[in-house]
Amino acid sequence: MDSLSTTAQKDVVLPELLTEFMVDMKCDGCVNAVENKLLTVDGVKSVEVDLSNQVVRVLGSSPVKIMADALEQSGRKARLIGQGVPEDFLVSAAVAEFKGPDIFGVVRVAQVSMELARVEATFSGLSPGKHGWSINEFGDLTRGAASTGKVFNPTKVTEQPLGDLGTLDALENGEAFFSGGKPMLRVADLIGRSIVVYETEDKSDSGIAAAVIARSAGVGENYKKICTCDGTTIWEANNTSFAPSKV
Verify that 142 and 97 share a domain, yes or no: yes
Interstrand relation of 93-99 and 104-113 (parallel, antiparallel or unpaired) = antiparallel
Verify that 77 and 116 share a domain, yes or no: no
Verify that 188 and 101 share a domain, yes or no: yes
How many domains would you assign to the chain?
Answer: 2
State percent of the chain over pLDDT 90. Answer: 70
Mean pLDDT along residues 235-239 = 52
- Listed in order, strand segments (DSSP E) in 125-216 are 129-136, 142-145, 164-170, 176-183, 194-197, 209-215
- Listed in order, strand segments (DSSP E) in 53-125 are 55-60, 78-84, 93-99, 104-113, 116-124
- Name the domain boundary from 84, 101, 117: 84
The reply to whether 227 falls in a domain is no
Verify that 211 and 110 share a domain, yes or no: yes
| Model pLDDT for residues 118-145, shown as the tens digit of each residue | 999 999 999 999 999 999 999 999 999 9
State percent of the chain over pLDDT 70. Answer: 79
CATH number at residue 158: 2.60.40.200
Domain of residue 100 covers 93-215
| Model pLDDT for residues 219-229, shown as the tens digit of each residue | 666 566 545 44
Interstrand relation of 116-124 and 93-99 (parallel, antiparallel or unpaired) = unpaired
The reply to whether 2 falls in a domain is no
pLDDT band at 156 (very low <50, low <70, confident <90, very high): confident
Verify that 172 and 125 share a domain, yes or no: yes
pTM of this structure = 0.80
CATH number at residue 22: 3.30.70.100
Verify that 73 and 130 share a domain, yes or no: no
Verify that 62 and 142 share a domain, yes or no: no
- What is the pLDDT at residue 155? 84
Mean pLDDT along residues 181-204 = 95
Verify that 189 and 126 share a domain, yes or no: yes
3-state secondary structure of 181: strand
Verify that 66 and 116 share a domain, yes or no: no
- What is the pLDDT at residue 184? 93
Contact between 49 and 37 (Cβ < 8 Å) = no
Verify that 118 and 207 share a domain, yes or no: yes
Task: Give Cα 163 to chain centroid, integer Å.
Answer: 16
Verify that 138 and 202 share a domain, yes or no: yes
Mean pLDDT along residues 198-208 = 94
The reply to whether 99 falls in a domain is yes
